[in-house]
Amino acid sequence: MVKNVRKIIKSLGPGMIITASFIGPGTVTTMTQGGAGFGYSLLWAVVFSIVATIVLQEMIIRLSLVTREGLGEAIQELFAHKVGKLIIVWFTLIAVTIGCAAYISGDLIGTSLGAAYLLNLPENLVAPIIGFIILLIGLFGNYKFLEKIMIFLMVIMGIIFITTMIVIKPDIFGILKGVFVPTIPNGSIITVIALIGTTVVPYNFFIHSTAVHERFNGIKELKFARWDTIISITVGGIISAAILIAAATLIRGDEVKSIIQLSGPLKPVLGDAAPFAISIGLFAAGLSSAIASPTGAAATISSLLGWKGGMESKKYKIVFTVIILIGITTSSLGFEPLEVLLVAQALNGIILPVVAILIFIIINKKNLMGRFVNNVWLNIIGLVVVLIVTFLGLYSLVDAITSFLS
């Protein structure tokens, strides 16, 4: 028993990368807005997003360990017709890459908010410096180094945000009601979609399938890969919920411009250290997401085009470099045009349900998965998750198009 627990702890890695990836500036801001605007009432959406992520990512690790291939290779093999294969592969590749390129500037700016406060420097100066540090990590690091960085950032976020939630003594009954009694208050539907959309991220499917190959040795380690996924993503859910709970407790009803606002009500508890603690948490969240964006683009392109060598291949590092250079340039200019972000949102609104449906189809192919295909219960749960994710993706697409036209 003790030996198994130790092995499970030692197995933590790929799941931590996925969790550190989805807890970025977007998640922190959305959770803060959700708590400030609607109190504890949207905690059920956080719980659903974590369940959905675990279900989909578990399918990814099972697929990767059984086939010893990435998600991109599995998608290619799904289509016998060359034209169909070409369309789906290149659409997925372009959509995910544009999304990563569009969001990297925001990731770097989000990271710089925390660092700029700590260093008392302008954000458009700090953001490019952080970008160059990430570039060095991508060029000279390897999977093990990336894993250690992401786990370290997860620990920092956990300490800051979970401790904050505990010391403010929130309303336990209100939390339980928010978790177990789903409600959609007036004006909250966009926030609900955002809460789920910042957690279930398309490029994380490709990152996970690549990371699993780097970390685990075949299907015999499926049990430990599952524990890695369940534990890591659950911890991420607790951190996300902690941010929402803190905002609901401390700044309910306030207009949210920055998570730094949480530091004001925290001063009676943490004193002058309050803004520094929140800034460190924001910096850790931003840095993990900023590392994940170019990693996601590189993993997606590598998998879909069948490039070998994993995270240490030259082609992988070239894609990583291009994406991060885009972020360095745009963040230094303060360039974050709404039109580009709306296009990225629209593409993600299409690609999320498409990839989720493809994963569900692939994982049920008996000739590919053998005895590791979904059982009845996994199919029921998976189908519910896929249908809801599809609805949310299409809603996000419609919202992006409406915003663009207006």
The pLDDT assigned to 228 comes to 92
Instruction: Show contacts of 3-11: CB within 8 Å, 24+ apart.
Output: 7/224, 8/224, 8/227, 8/228, 8/231, 11/215, 11/216, 11/221, 11/224, 11/225, 11/227, 11/228
| CB hemisphere CA count around 259 (13 angstroms) | 35
Return d(Cα 388, Cα 329) in angstroms, integer.
37
Enumerate residues 6+ apart whose C-beta is below 8 A from 391. none
Write down the pTM of the prediction: 0.88
pLDDT at 219: 86
As a whole number of Å, the CA-based R_g of the chain is 20
**What is the per-residue DSSP string for 261-310?**
GGHHHHHHHHGGGHHHHHHHHHHHHHHHHHHHHHHHHHHHHHHHTT--SG
pLDDT at 245: 93
3-state secondary structure (DSSP) of residue 256: coil
**pLDDT reported for residue 124:** 72
Burial class from Cβ neighbours inside 10 Å (0-12, 13-18, 19+) for residue 214 reads middle
Q: Two tokens at 351?
A: 């690609």
Which pLDDT score, from 0 to 100, does residue 259 have?
65
Average predicted confidence (pLDDT) for the chain: 82
What confidence score (pLDDT) does residue 176 get?
95
User: Quick one: DSSP state of residue 200?
Assistant: S
End-to-end Cα separation, the chain, in angstroms: 59
Residues of the chain with pLDDT under 70: 1-3, 80, 117-118, 256-272, 334-349, 400, 404, 406
Closest listed residue to residue 92, CA positions, set 206, 177, 174, 213:
206
Cα–Cα distance measured from residue 196 to residue 110, given in angstroms and rounded to the nearest whole number: 19
Q: Kindly state the percentage of the chain with pLDDT values over 90.
A: 15
Q: Angle at CA 157, nearest 5°, toward 271 and 280?
A: 50
Distance of CA 226 to the CA centre of its chain: 18
pLDDT value of residue 263:
63
pLDDT at res. 58? 93
Identify whether the C-beta of residue 198 lies closer than 8 Å to the C-beta of residue 243: no
pLDDT digits (tens, 9 = 90+) for 115-165: 776 677 777 778 888 889 999 988 887 878 888 888 888 888 888 888 888
pLDDT at site 237 = 93
Q: How far apart are CA 243 and CA 28, in angstroms?
A: 7
Residue located via tokens 């908010």: 113
The amino acid sitting at 115 is A
- How is residue 198 annotated by DSSP? T
Q: pLDDT at position 82, please?
A: 76
pLDDT of residue 321: 92
Tell me, what's the pLDDT at 227?
A: 93
Distance (Å, rounded) from C-alpha 225 to C-alpha 229?
6
Identify the burial level of 78 via C-beta atoms within 10 angstroms of its C-beta, where 0-12 means exposed, 13-18 middle and 19 or more buried. Answer: middle
Compute the residue count for the chain.
Answer: 406
Q: What is the pLDDT of residues 67-83, one digit of tens each?
A: 888 788 888 887 767 77
